Amino acid sequence: MAAFITRRLVFVVLVLVAVSMLVFGVTTLLPANVAHLILGAFATPEQVRALELKLGLTDPVWQQYLRWAGGFLTGDLGESTLMNRPVGPMLLEAIQRSLMLTGLSFILIAIIGVGLGIAAALRHRRPLDHGVSVATYLGIAVPEFFWAIVVIIVFAAWLGWLPASGYEPISAGVWEWAKHLIAPTMTLVFGHLAHVSRLTRSSMIEVMQSPYITAARAKGLPERVIVLHHALRNALLPTITVLALDFGRLMGGIVVIETVFAYPGLGRLVVFSIQNRDLPTLQAAILVVAAIYALANLLADLL
Amino acid sequence: MSPEPATAMSPALATPARPPRKPMPLQLKAGLAITGTILLLGLLAPWIAPHPWDTISMRTRFLAPNATYWFGTDEYGRDVLSRLLMGARLSIGMGVAATLVSLAIGVPMGLAAGYFRGWIDEALMRLADVLMAIPPIMLGLLVLAVTPPALWKTAVAVGFVYIPPIARLARSVTLTLASEDFIQAAKARAESTSYILFREILPNAWPPLIVEASLRVTYAILLGSALSFLGLGAQPPSSDWGLMISEARSFLDRAPWIALAPGFAMCLLVIGINLLGDGARERLDPRLKARLGKA
């Protein structure tokens, strides 16, 4: 097992190195002059030249890459070309906020997803089962940004219960903080419930038909004990794998959700840095997301 | 042997215990109906759209749905229904184009990996792993980051993102097929490698690939519209659905129909294609059917 984990870890590191090359390559090798992009269309050649020298853009590409990657490993993520401040602290703040959002969503997805899955399995082919199927089907089929908009229309525009967007630190008061988290969390949870609940349902149905459950019934154990202690333990195994994968998916989902709700996390940082051609921030942010995504997938493999 | 007895026997032989043709699954029917209708409406859009889709008229701004403007009008006084119909072609076209891009690159990759094995397999599949190590939307953003946005670029980027799953499927199908007798026979006939790959393996690999591709179209539509929504796809005044929803965001409190109409349209399309894909898969994959039947 240890050898397997080591091998997988080495593989993850190799993939991340390749991803870093990809990220760096795409952002520097494309036929677009970065200095031009930053300065805009009306820059004089001297200005462009000066910025190129400042950014080291005249060096060979592999030198630029090594400098960038070396900086990354020593914790120096470069300087945001837009904000003129180091990328590191900015990124760290964004990661914390994003992890808060995804962590909360993840816990809710696990609890509600497994719960719905069990309920549907126990009412197999009855109205509740079909209801859960249809609801989770909608969750998958409907784009996240559309759910976000429906949530805003209903809870912010019509009912006026929640703010439409933004973020408040917890120091501004727990309720203020929570209020801004509810809408994005709700959207993320609904969009990701389907995988967990469907898988729990189907593995639960399979397990409930196995002989040891019949044996437990024959012993006269109460149904509650059979479901929660005997069946669920085995049925949850595949679900746990999917949950780990879902965490990776959430890291992708935050891009749209954070943009819609103007939530200042990692996803919004990526979109923001693209809109403003802030390449150092973009490179660092995408690499961090890839790292979290890869680790979540590794975890899914190991579980 | 004379042909006489053979023909006498053939009616019995020609109809072995062939089960009666099963009726089309409901899913497939519903999927065909929904997708077909949207496709047809999109194709006929220029002729059936009740109003011009891009004519700005300040007198008709923010009209709620009514008898003249069934789905209301937007912030420039344009008819939402007409824009929706024109947008159907863009969304479907983008999804199909993106899927074709993934097929065009992913299928040869998978064929090569599964047939040649060894280091080619290793190299191609590790490349796929690298592409899969970045969340799809981030990969799309990365590809689009450095060029000015346009819908065709979004289609290419989305197609790129979904190369790995197509390549993996093509590889696994090829692995299975490569050990079959007819491939051994082709090898024994000293057929050229490209003949074996594209004339022998590929035609037999199509059915699962087509089903996968049809499901991929929905992923592509969702991802592409998300990218358009983020401003990295179609540009105004285009009536791409993702862009329409994005533009309507500022008016959610006073004119929610501008966002809801393209949103519901997209849900319907995605559900339709999903049903189509699920139905087709159930029909083509007996193994899965047996498993579903058990559950």
Query: Which range has the worst mean pLDDT, A236-240, B144-148, B208-212, B243-247?
Result: B144-148
Contact residues on chain B for A30, CB-CB shorter than 8 A: 146-147
With CA atoms as reference, report the closest residue to B225 among B134, B136, B105: B136
Q: Copy the structure tokens of residue B149.
A: 């946005």
Contact A260 B249 (CB under 8 A): yes
Contact list, B245 vs chain A (CB under 8 Å): 145-146, 149
Cβ distance of B146 and A26 shorter than 8 Å: yes
How far apart, in whole angstroms, are the C-alpha atoms of residue B98 and residue A159?
40
A278 φ/ψ angles, rounded to the nearest 5 degrees: -90, 85
> Does position B37 have pLDDT exceeding 60, yes or no?
yes
Q: Could you count the other beta carbons within 10 Å of the beta carbon of residue A107?
A: 12
Residue reference for tokens 């989902």:
A253
Closest chain A CA to residue B149: A275
Q: What's residue B4's pLDDT?
A: 45
**Whole-angstrom distance, CA of residue B70 vs CA of residue B50:** 9
Distance, in Å, from the CA atom of A123 to the CA atom of A303, rounded to the nearest integer, reads: 29
Q: For chain B, what percent of residues have pLDDT higher than 70?
A: 88
Q: In this structure, what token pair is assigned to residue A63?
A: 């030198």
* Residue B252 with chain A: CB contacts under 8 Å: 149, 152-153, 156-157, 164
Whether residues A150 and B253 touch (CB distance < 8 A) is answered with: no
Q: Looking at CA atoms only, how far is residue B227 from chain A in angstroms?
A: 9
Number of H helices, E strands in chain A: 13, 0
Amino acid at A143: P
* pLDDT attached to residue B185: 85
Q: How far is CA A235 from CA A202, B111, B232, in A?
A: 9, 36, 42
Q: How many other β-carbons are positioned within 10 Å of the β-carbon of residue B250?
A: 12
Structure tokens that stand for A249 in this block: 């998916």
Q: Which two tokens stand for residue B30?
A: 């519903």
Cis peptide before B3 (omega within 30 of 0): no
Two tokens, residue A186: 């709700």
Structure tokens at A4: 């397997």
Residues of A in contact with B295 (CB under 8 A): 202, 205-206
Tokens of B97: 């184009």
Nearest Cα residue in chain A from B130: A15
Contacts of B138 in chain A (CB under 8 A): 252, 255, 270, 286, 289-290
CB A260 within 8 A of CB A145: yes
When pLDDT is averaged across residues B73-96 and rounded to a whole number, the result is 85
Delimit the domains of chain A by residue range. 94-265
**pLDDT reported for residue B12:** 46
* Substitution target from B84, B127, B146 for chain A, most A beta carbons within 10 A: B146
Delineate the domains of chain B, giving CATH numbers in brackets. Answer: 26-51+70-294 (1.10.3720.10)
CB spacing of B222 vs A143 below 8 angstroms: yes
pLDDT band at B99 (very low <50, low <70, confident <90, very high): very high
Residue B101 has pLDDT above 90, yes or no: yes
Contact B130 A23 (CB under 8 A): no
How many angstroms away from the CA of B78 is the closest CA of chain A? 21
Among B208, B186, B212, residue whose Cα is nearest residue B199 = B186
Q: Of A149, A156, A255, which has the smallest distance from its Cβ to B245's Cβ? A: A149
Nearest to A274 among B141, B242, B271 (CB): B141
CA distance A137 to A55: 49
Residue whose token pair is 């005249």: A58
Contact flag B267-A289 (C-beta cutoff 8 Å): no
Q: Which residue type does B67 have?
A: A
Q: Does pLDDT of B131 surpass 80?
A: yes
- List of chain A residues whose C-beta atoms are within 8 Å of the C-beta of residue B248: 149
Which chain B residues are within 8 Å of A137, Cβ to Cβ?
271, 274
Residues in B lying within 8 Å of A, measured between beta carbons = 126, 129-130, 133-138, 141-147, 218, 222, 225-226, 229-232, 242, 245-246, 248-249, 252-253, 256, 259-260, 263, 266-267, 270-271, 274, 294-295
Report yes or no: B10 and B262 within 8 Å, Cβ to Cβ.
no
Pick the residue with more confidence: B77 or A134? A134
Write out chain B residues lying below 8 Å of A248, CB-based.
135
pLDDT the model gives residue B21: 60
Per the CB < 8 Å rule, is A157 touching B256? yes
CA distances from A214 to A89, A122, A172, A226, B291 (A): 57, 15, 55, 10, 21
* pLDDT for the residue A33: 59
For residue range A116-174, list pLDDT tens digits in order: 988 888 888 888 888 888 888 777 777 888 888 888 888 887 887 877 777 877 777 77
CB contact under 8 A, A152 and B218: no
Whether the per-residue pLDDT at B5 is higher than 60: the answer is no
Number of helices followed by number of strands (H, E) in chain B:
13, 0
The enclosing H or E element of A8 equals helix A2-29
CA-CA distance, A224 to A220, in Å (whole number)? Answer: 11
User: Which positions in chain B touch A251 (Cβ < 8 Å)?
Assistant: 135
A149 and B263: CB-CB below 8 Å?
Answer: yes
φ and ψ of B55, to 5 deg: -85, 120
B146·A286 Cβ contact <8 A: no
Chain A residues whose CB is inside 8 A of the B225 CB are 143, 145
Better pLDDT: A300 or B32: B32
Burial (CB count within 10 angstroms: exposed 0-12, middle 13-18, buried 19+), residue B272: buried
Tell me the torsion sign for CA atoms A190, A192, A196, A201: positive
* Whole-angstrom Cα Rg for chain A: 24
| Cβ neighbours, 10 Å, residue A271 | 21
User: What is the structure's pLDDT at B17?
Assistant: 55
Lowest mean pLDDT among A99-113, B82-96, B200-214: B200-214
Q: Are B71 and B65 in contact (CB under 8 A)?
A: yes
Q: Does domain A94-265 have CATH number 1.10.3720.10?
A: yes
What is the C-alpha to C-alpha distance for residues A130 and A139, in angstroms, rounded to an integer? Answer: 14
Beta-ladder partners of B79: B73
Nearest by CB: B133 against A138, A144, A294? A294
Q: Is the pLDDT of residue B286 over 70?
A: no
Secondary structure of B29-94 as H, E, C letters: HHHHHHHHHHHHHHHHHHHHCCCCCCCCCHHHCCCCCCCCCCCCECCCCCEHHHHHHHHHHHHHHH
Nearest chain B residue to A247, by CA: B135
Interface with A, mutate which of B249, B264, B274 (most A CBs under 10 A): B249
pLDDT at B102: 94
The alpha carbon of residue A291 and the mean position of all alpha carbons in its chain are separated, in whole angstroms, by 11
Phi/psi of residue B73, nearest 5 degrees? -130, 160
Cα B167 from Cα B110, distance rounded (Å): 4
Provide the residue type at B145 as one letter.
A
Probe site for chain B from A13, A82, A206, A255 (most B CB atoms < 10 A): A255
List chain A residues with pLDDT less than 70.
29-41, 55, 81-82
Determine the pLDDT at residue B3. Answer: 45
Alpha carbon of A205: minimum distance to chain B alpha carbons (Å): 7
Write out the DSSP string of B145-186. Answer: HTS---HHHHHHHHHHHTHHHHHHHHHHHHHHHHTSHHHHHH
Chain position carrying tokens 């525009």: A157
Shortest CB distance from A286 goes to which of B138, B229, B253?
B138
Residue B291 backbone dihedrals phi, psi, to 5 degrees: -65, -40
B41 CA: distance to closest CA in chain A (Å): 21
